[in-house]
Structure 1
């Protein structure tokens, strides 16, 4: 039995460009020359409670003004409980470290001993990524950077968190396009490099078998209904020996989970001028009778023009 893969082509209407918000690093002050590259750590510590000492307990018998006859004299005495050993408090310090790695990426390492198997949100230059710590409260993640002086804000659902920063010295060598959304949508970035067709070398998307000069990284937890998910396409423009165009499109597979839904999608584009641009799009997916088809959004992402170096 053969399944025909149909495509419904739509031209997405791009809304006005938005400001990225307080997490955007445009215009961030440069770090001093000679600063240690790769590591900056901040932490938040839960305050431990202190056990109060118990007060002495006084027990008193008959009044001392009435002497007892033919018996022992009543006296007052003070009883103090045995000292209570202080309880050892858990170390709930949240630590995060960001380090620049190859490909204009940041390697983020998070340790949160009191947040095992918990949801964690990571914010960077307008991106938000939902992830989960392991049973030890740790998470290691590689994120394509969208700014030279990259800031990562880490937050848990109980409002605790921390910040990590690093210097990404080679970010100017890359053109980078990010797409983010919430929940299970089936969205995918597709890049056709230098005239490539679907399925050929140069057709780049999140499938691990795709081959090309650029690459697509997928981050987040798409199976969570309210999770923040991201795909990022990167091309090493500053190292390319070819000239030509890269056609970019966004596809959404119509499934039983998303059919008929209104999708809110945001793109962030980092081009050669190193200005981060944001666009938003709302689109309604076809009804459930068209499950299995693909919606193709051609105008959401602007094509790249590459000049040989």
Structure 2
């Protein structure tokens, strides 16, 4: 059956109503195929473009993610995900993973990544901004399973969004200054306020992946001054850190990776200001 069978099966699942469908690829399912699908068969939004996350192993696509161990407990442990479109081009994600209580999961959508923890019953409910109208969302579980879902978000074309994603030891905050308004990340977005910075991810999980998303209505980011504030700590001083950015306009998302050279140790406690994050960062002296 091979690649064609896997692709056909995935396509059939995604033809159903977008907000009711999810796809789980497990090692047991892949073992029934005559050969594994190559990484290029994975939608870009479901692949980790960065080096392996120390908390998740070699997560570079469906095959290495799912080929580690078969799911335990049979169908009882099968995760289910529901996606629905909300006003303001937002996505509501509801995950039921009964065999993954209180565990770290990574959510990824069109280059945007962040980690959260499931509740004690294995459920998780997350609201995230859409970066594409045909939004595919991937959830990576700790037991080497991957859940994929797709939802249509028609009003994403009304917004422009800029996201920054980082992992420890980086400690970053996105700051947007527009006239007399100063916006920083808020974990509880207010739907009535369409210009905002949305904070995503939990810093309390192991190997946290965090993100900030600046969202504004219109065909561009306007004249707002977008900067990043990187705190210099003993863990980050003298290192080159990797920060990922995603720019979405009219439902088209562009992903990039930035390398940031942190000053040598001795400036711990200072803040390194990253100017002109969109489209490229420039470093200023610590303040």
Q: Structure 2-normalised TM-score?
A: 0.67
In the alignment, what sits opposite 1:283?
260
Matched, 1:177 2:158: no
Contact 2:79 2:95 in 1 (8 A): yes
Q: 1:302 to 1:92 in 2, by over 3 A?
A: same
Structure 1 unaligned regions, length at least 5: 1-27, 48-87, 304-309
RMSD over aligned Cα atoms: 3.2
Structure 2 unaligned regions, length at least 5: 1-10, 29-72, 281-287
Higher relative contact order (CA 8 A, sep 6+): 1
Query: How far off its partner does 1:208 sit?
Result: 7.5
- 173-182 vs 243-252, which deviates more? 243-252
In the alignment, what sits opposite 1:299?
276
Provide the rounded CA distance (Å) in 1 between the counterparts of 2:74 and 2:267.
57
Provide the rounded CA distance (Å) in 1 between the counterparts of 2:182 and 2:128.
22
Query: How far off its partner does 1:285 sit?
Result: 1.6
Provide the rounded CA distance (Å) in 2 between the counterparts of 1:287 and 1:267.
24
In the alignment, what sits opposite 1:40?
21
Contact 1:45 1:94 in 2 (8 A): no
The structure carrying a bigger helix percent of its residues is 2
In the alignment, what sits opposite 1:203?
182
Provide the rounded CA distance (Å) in 1 between the counterparts of 2:184 and 2:20.
31
Q: 1:37 to 1:161 in 2, by over 3 A?
A: closer
Cα deviation digits, residues 4-25 of structure 1 (max 9, x gap)? xxxxxxxxxxxxxxxxxxxxxx
Question: Aligned match of 1:118 in 103, 125, 131?
Answer: 103
Q: Structure 1-normalised TM-score?
A: 0.63
Query: How far off its partner does 1:45 sit?
Result: 7.9
Contact 1:43 1:96 in 2 (8 A): no
User: Which structure is larger by alpha-carbon Rg, 1 or 2?
Assistant: 1
Cα deviation digits, residues 106-151 of structure 1 (max 9, x gap)? 0000001111111112221122222211110111101111110111
Provide the rounded CA distance (Å) in 1 between the counterparts of 2:25 and 2:94.
15
Q: 1:128 to 1:294 in 2, by over 3 A?
A: same
Provide the rounded CA distance (Å) in 1 between the counterparts of 2:244 and 2:197.
16
- 252-261 vs 205-214, which deviates more? 205-214
Between the two proteins, the alignment pairs up a number of residues equal to: 222
Provide the rounded CA distance (Å) in 2 between the counterparts of 1:289 and 1:185.
17
Provide the rounded CA distance (Å) in 2 between the counterparts of 1:41 and 1:297.
38
